[in-house]
Chains A and B, each alone.
Chain A
Amino acid sequence: MREKDFDLLSVMQGCLKSNRDSQRRLYEHFNGYAMSICLRYSKNREEAVEILNDAFLKVFNHLSQYDTAFPFKPWLRRILINAAIDQHRKNRNMVVTLDLAAAAELAAEELPLPILSKDEDVLPILQKLSPAYRVVFNLYVMEGYAHQEIAELLGIDPRTSRSNLLRATQNLRALMRKKSLDIAKLN
């Protein structure tokens, strides 16, 4: 019902007047799209919600800067990615606890890359990566940024970006093999 009634311009006008109902409508309408992006940059749902709400707070505070001549989604996507990068900077000191040692053992075995089925969800695998690897992987693979751009966004050296992507790839391969082996064992 709400989807049919959704008029972006009128909702935005309401948001500009800090109308709570309009804010809720905008939030609800783009929640699924925004959440699917946030989940890629976070290790779990709680962290994703934190990024999401950070981003929407920026959207509500800076909505006057949005040019209605352009589509809203790319603007929102850009804010979501910036919020994810901010979150990454904030949590850089967090220790990543994952069974990488076990996964690394599997990486040594020269197994072919498992083919993923369409139903298979790779998000949990991606979420197991360390934050530094995950953010570089997302920016490079999903957003299409070059290493130089990633380096500028994250405040790191382009060489670090390259090496993080390489290690992310190695770790993803190892985790995928581990997962396929676990499934095989279960079957």
Chain B
Amino acid sequence: MEDLFKQFRENLESRPEPPFEERDWQDMQARLERDGNKRPAAFGLWWFALPIALLLSGGNIFFFWQWKAAERKIVQVEIRHDTIYHTRIIHTSDTVFSTRVLRERVLDYQASFAVPGMALPTKTVFEPSPQSEIRTVKSPQILQQYPDDGQSAQAGWANLPPNGEKVEIERPKVLNTTILPIETIQALRYKHRYQKRPDSIVFIPAKRQKKALLTRIYEARPRGFQLGVSGGWVYPMGKNLDYQSGSSASVQAAVEFSPRIRLWADVIYSKTYFLTDRMGNDLGVPVVEPPSDEYVFSRAEVPQPLWQYSAGLQYLFRPTKRLKPFVGLGYGAVSLLSYDVTYEFKHLGLGVEWDYDRTENGKGLMANFGLFHAGLEYQFSKKWNAQIRANYRAEFGKTSSLKPPDVLGIGGALNYRF
């Protein structure tokens, strides 16, 4: 082989230089004039890039302020909601318990426990349970409210039946309106929190209100937004493929609807490379006729660059932990960019090879790609998280048009949460 190289090197180097031809210069001159009239590319690019940059930054600032304002409103609404919730529960259980029981017992029992001078038209019956709340009313504060320094009240309290028996009293106004509710509420609050409720309390369940559509929409509002970048390796998958390799880079965004559910979208640029001994549109290798019947297709070398646009839903396990596994399912579209396929044909008898390069022009957007991914997310601060994940992209509606093969990807991502 070296002999051949030497022969060619010496022969070509000793070859006389071709003479100058005027028409070559004329062609050169025409190109120089064309080039001189051309506006520098960078200048044109600035005019194009500047408005886009301004638009993007303005949009971002606007979006950021809107987001902040919305966040403030949401916090206010949530606080008000919590207060209403607590108040309603305490008030309802207390009132319902007292009112219902008192009215039922008025006809059955005579007053044996009354406070002289303080009798009111209304008769009240308390039905203390073994763990009665009424017992908790017996406190110095109550007694101090009586005009006779609590003597009458003490006499009355002394007449209380043993624990568990039913008692009828004429309810002192002061007891009913001023003191009892405070004490009872405190006692009930304590009991509601730390003790089992007595069986005798009758609860009337609050009527469940039907949620309005706007309420439902409000409840399903996004709770967070995150942006990130990712990169990794991709491997074309399929039969008849060899020497697969590739890499990818992407920008991704996710909207959090709950701690577990996210809507994600990403734009990925990937470039794959593989060799194949089969021609077919499903691999992005169009069928090419051999130069003659003696030649057979040997293999094709396919570097495939593409853009992938995808969106889907992601489900997070253990959302409160730092390390969260997740799975996602989505739908994608792919746009194949221009690429060169190198075909190799082999002569059946002689083994001599013949190659042929063919450029496949970029294809439009091809949809019907299903995407599945799974991985782990590590939340290393309130705002930042990192992911490692595996992706699989497959076409689920098999078409005859030129398309890339299925792809398995492994990579990492870094996200910032707004």
Chain A residues in the interface with B (C-beta under 8 A)? 18, 20, 23-24, 27-28, 31-33, 35-36, 39-40, 49, 52-53, 56-57, 60-61, 92-96, 100-101, 103-105, 107-108, 113, 115-116, 118, 120-123, 126, 130-133, 137, 141-142, 160, 164, 167, 169-174
Closest to B358 in A: A93
- Tell me the total A-B contact number using a CB cutoff of 8 A: 116
Q: How many residues of chain B have a CB within 8 Å of chain A?
A: 43
Chain B residues in 8 Å Cβ range of A101:
291-292, 294-295, 347
Q: Could you tell me the distance in whole angstroms from the C-beta of B265 to the nearest C-beta in chain A?
A: 32
Given contacts A104-B352, A141-B9, 13 further A-B contacts (CB under 8 A): A24-B25, A36-B18, A53-B28, A101-B295, A103-B352, A104-B350, A113-B3, A116-B11, A122-B12, A126-B8, A130-B354, A132-B357, A167-B353
B359 touches A (CB below 8 Å):
yes
The contact string, 1 if C-beta is below 8 Å from chain A, for chain B 342-376, is: 10000101101111111100000000000000000
- Evaluate contact between A31 and B20: CB separation under 8 angstroms: yes
Assess A121 versus B11: contact at CB under 8 Å? Given A35-B17, A101-B292, A101-B295. yes
CB pairs A–B below 8 angstroms (27 shown): A27-B25, A27-B28, A28-B20, A32-B19, A49-B24, A56-B28, A57-B28, A92-B357, A93-B357, A94-B357, A101-B347, A105-B350, A108-B349, A113-B4, A123-B15, A126-B12, A130-B354, A130-B355, A130-B356, A132-B342, A132-B357, A133-B355, A137-B8, A142-B12, A142-B13, A171-B352, A173-B4
Chain B residues in 8 Å Cβ range of A164:
355
**Residue B301 contacts which of A56, A96, A121, A160 (CB distance < 8 angstroms)?**
A160
- Evaluate contact between A121 and B347: CB separation under 8 angstroms: no
Chain B residues in 8 Å Cβ range of A32:
17-20
Chain A residues in 8 Å Cβ range of B301:
160
Q: Compute how far the CA of A104 lies from the CA of B350 in the bound complex, rounded to whole angstroms.
A: 6
Chain A residues in 8 Å Cβ range of B358:
93
- Evaluate contact between A167 and B355: CB separation under 8 angstroms: yes
Chain B residues in 8 Å Cβ range of A96:
356
- Evaluate contact between B356 and A53: CB separation under 8 angstroms: no
Query: Which among A40, A94, A100, A123 has the greatest number of chain B C-beta atoms within 10 A?
Result: A100
Chain A residues in 8 Å Cβ range of B4:
113, 169, 172-173
Q: Could you tell me the distance in whole angstroms from the C-beta of B245 to the nearest C-beta in chain A?
A: 10
The 9 closest A-B pairs by CB, nearest first: A32-B17, A93-B359, A104-B352, A92-B357, A108-B350, A104-B350, A31-B20, A122-B11, A141-B5
Chain B residues in 8 Å Cβ range of A141:
5, 8-9
B29 touches A (CB below 8 Å):
yes
Q: Compute how far the CA of A121 lies from the CA of B31 in the bound complex, rounded to whole angstroms.
A: 32
B117 touches A (CB below 8 Å):
no
Q: Could you tell me the distance in whole angstroms from the C-beta of B183 to the nearest C-beta in chain A?
A: 86
Chain A residues in 8 Å Cβ range of B294:
101
The contact string, 1 if C-beta is below 8 Å from chain A, for chain B 255-295, is: 00000000000000000000000000000000000011011
Query: Which among A122, A164, A169 has the greatest number of chain B C-beta atoms within 10 A?
Result: A122
Q: Could you tell me the distance in whole angstroms from the C-beta of B96 to the nearest C-beta in chain A?
A: 81
- Evaluate contact between B352 and A100: CB separation under 8 angstroms: yes
Assess A33 versus B17: contact at CB under 8 Å? Given A27-B28, A108-B350. yes
B59 touches A (CB below 8 Å):
no
Chain B residues in the interface with A (C-beta under 8 A)? 1, 3-5, 7-9, 11-15, 17-20, 24-25, 27-29, 31-32, 35-36, 291-292, 294-295, 301, 340, 342, 347, 349-350, 352-359
Q: Could you tell me the distance in whole angstroms from the C-beta of A129 to the nearest C-beta in chain B?
A: 10
Q: Could you tell me the distance in whole angstroms from the C-beta of A64 to the nearest C-beta in chain B?
A: 15
- Evaluate contact between B359 and A92: CB separation under 8 angstroms: yes
Q: Could you tell me the distance in whole angstroms from the C-beta of B127 to the nearest C-beta in chain A?
A: 91
- Evaluate contact between B11 and A23: CB separation under 8 angstroms: no
Q: Could you tell me the distance in whole angstroms from the C-beta of A61 to the nearest C-beta in chain B?
A: 7
Q: Compute how far the CA of A118 lies from the CA of B18 in the bound complex, rounded to whole angstroms.
A: 17
Q: Compute how far the CA of A118 lies from the CA of B7 in the bound complex, rounded to whole angstroms.
A: 9
Query: Which among A35, A104, A116, A118 has the greatest number of chain B C-beta atoms within 10 A?
Result: A104
Chain A residues in 8 Å Cβ range of B35:
57, 61
Closest to A105 in B: B350
Assess A28 versus B15: contact at CB under 8 Å? Given A108-B350, A132-B355, A142-B9. no
Q: Compute how far the CA of A23 lies from the CA of B30 in the bound complex, rounded to whole angstroms.
A: 13
Closest to B359 in A: A93
Q: Compute how far the CA of A35 lies from the CA of B15 in the bound complex, rounded to whole angstroms.
A: 11
- Evaluate contact between B20 and A36: CB separation under 8 angstroms: no
Chain B residues in 8 Å Cβ range of A39:
18
Closest to B361 in A: A93
Closest to A101 in B: B292
Closest to B34 in A: A57
Chain A residues in 8 Å Cβ range of B36:
18
Q: Could you tell me the distance in whole angstroms from the C-beta of A185 to the nearest C-beta in chain B?
A: 21
- Evaluate contact between A120 and B11: CB separation under 8 angstroms: yes
Q: Compute how far the CA of A45 lies from the CA of B387 in the bound complex, rounded to whole angstroms.
A: 56
Chain B residues in 8 Å Cβ range of A49:
24, 27
Assess A116 versus B20: contact at CB under 8 Å? Given A18-B36, A53-B31, A101-B291. no
Query: Which among B14, B291, B358 has the greatest number of chain A C-beta atoms within 10 A?
Result: B291
Chain B residues in 8 Å Cβ range of A40:
12
Q: Compute how far the CA of A160 lies from the CA of B15 in the bound complex, rounded to whole angstroms.
A: 30
